[in-house]
Amino acid sequence: MNVGSLYTILIQNITFFFNQSTGYIVWGLFALGGWVILAAILLFAFTIFWADWREEKETTNWKYVLLAVDVPQENLQSPKAIEQLFSHLIGGYEKPSIIEKFWHGHKQRWFSFEIISIEGYIQFLIWTEQKFQDLIEASFYAQYPQAEITEVDDYVNAMPTHFPDDTYDMWGADFTLAEHDAYPIRVYEEFKNSIGKDFPLSDPMGSFLESFSHIGTGEQIWFQIILKPVSQNWKEKAIDKIKELIGEKIESKKTIADYIIKVLLGGMVSIGDQIFNREAVVSKEEGKPDAKNNLLFLTPGQKKLVESMENKISKVGFKTKIRVLYIAKKEVFHKERASYLLVGAMQQYNNPTSNSIIPKITTIQHSIKKSNRRKSELIKAFQRRNIKYGAKAFMFNIEELATIWHFPMSHVQTPQLQKTVGKQAAPPSGLPVEDLPVETTEKKVDDSANLKSSLPGYQTDSGHKINIDTDFG
């Protein structure tokens, strides 16, 4: 029996099989090997559920801390200092073995760098698992010896987690990137200006914190950047994107399935060639050297983009999630003002020729019921610092992270930003002191009180004592 006869019998059997009833076809496919596929799917699902269960059991005893960081009074450090701090945190990455993953329930610990404004009062915060508290503090003091770090209670616990609520309303959003991770946003080095050597950087944190200070009594703004240390394999996909941009050939990685499909297809083509007496077609491209890339023919803008992409992969990165919430009492709730301010503040980091940060998941829905459900989900995700919920997480390198989250430099006006209290020292001995009349002394005290009461945010009737040096820098 020749090959042509075997091929004819095979076609007849296939035609007969698919002319039967649906139940017969399904049972036949299952008997011929479909059960293997079903078993693989069930095994895969079981593996996922088992890993999640082990992770949940392992993380039950984790203890989380929230650290408040007071900005130094005189901060001459550029965002480069925070960039160095982030580079230390990548050391928290732990690559688990199969036993650690599926038996011990290993789960990668993560961080949340936050900025909050409570009625216009601004505070920098860091949330982490207690295991990394020493690493956080050591990294901060290495860059900012004058900073003060204090463990505080979690502010999110004072707010409702289910909406609608009788007292509060909220607006929130998850942000993501408009383009592929390989394309960088506008980083702090691109904010340099020509004012003078004393102010070489137009600090983007100035306009960002300005939106946080434009709220009043009963209003709060929460901003968090969740960072998860991961493997640096993300750079391989970024390199492929660069090659695609410059027109360089990308070598696809072959799997076992690819080789099996290639053999099967090759065999079918070979059988067809023998049946129909066709000659094997040889590709004209075979044997030719690979074409060179088009780097020399790129425009200046494209070359600059390639350079910025290569700069991004030259530094370590984290899986990142950006989330913002505005929550306020119903009588003072202004969704539009907060959303416009916050989304507008994020626009300064966008690069029209590269990448942009855009809101993806928001509480604005077609129905009130869906909107309230989204509000409840977002505030719970914020409370748990959940990187999986909402918009897709993306890769930021340490330079991009430091651009968005860093201490403002001294020339940036942030009147209600919490700063460290200046160190006090006794006056030098022998300093001449002039004895003033009692009336003059009392007049100077009254003038000083009047000056403090004229400052924005100073309150004398609420019973809360304002420290001018601390709260207004």
Q: Are residues 19 and 83 in the same domain?
A: no
Round to whole Å and give the CA distance between 391 and 176. 6
Among 124, 140, 166, 176, CA closest to 323 = 176
Q: Are residues 68 and 39 in the same domain?
A: no
pTM: 0.73
Residue 448 lies in a domain: no
Give residue-wise pLDDT tens across range 66-100: 999 998 777 778 899 999 999 999 988 888 777 77
Q: Are residues 364 and 339 in the same domain?
A: yes
Q: Are residues 43 and 131 in the same domain?
A: no
Residue 359 lies in a domain: yes
Single-letter residue type at 333: F
Q: Helices 335-347 and 205-213: crossing angle, nearest 10°?
A: 170
Round to whole Å and give the CA distance between 316 and 311. 11
Q: Are residues 43 and 84 in the same domain?
A: no
Q: Are residues 172 and 32 in the same domain?
A: no
Residue 255 lies in a domain: no
Domain that holds residue 40: 3-55
Side-chain-side CA neighbours of 442 within 13 Å: the count stands at 3
Domain final residue pick, 32, 55, 78 = 55
- Contact 214/394 with Cβ under 8 angstroms? no
Q: Are residues 13 and 80 in the same domain?
A: no
Binned average pLDDT, 10 residues per bin, the chain of 473 residues: 61 65 69 71 78 75 93 82 93 81 80 94 94 92 91 94 95 95 94 56 82 90 96 93 87 61 60 55 49 77 94 96 96 86 90 94 89 95 94 96 90 64 48 48 42 38 39 36
Domain final residue pick, 373, 404, 435 = 404
Q: Are residues 212 and 182 in the same domain?
A: yes
Q: Are residues 75 and 19 in the same domain?
A: no
Q: Are residues 72 and 129 in the same domain?
A: yes
In total, how many domains does the chain have? 2
Q: Is 226 exposed, middle or buried (0-12, 13-18, 19+ CB in 10 A)?
A: buried
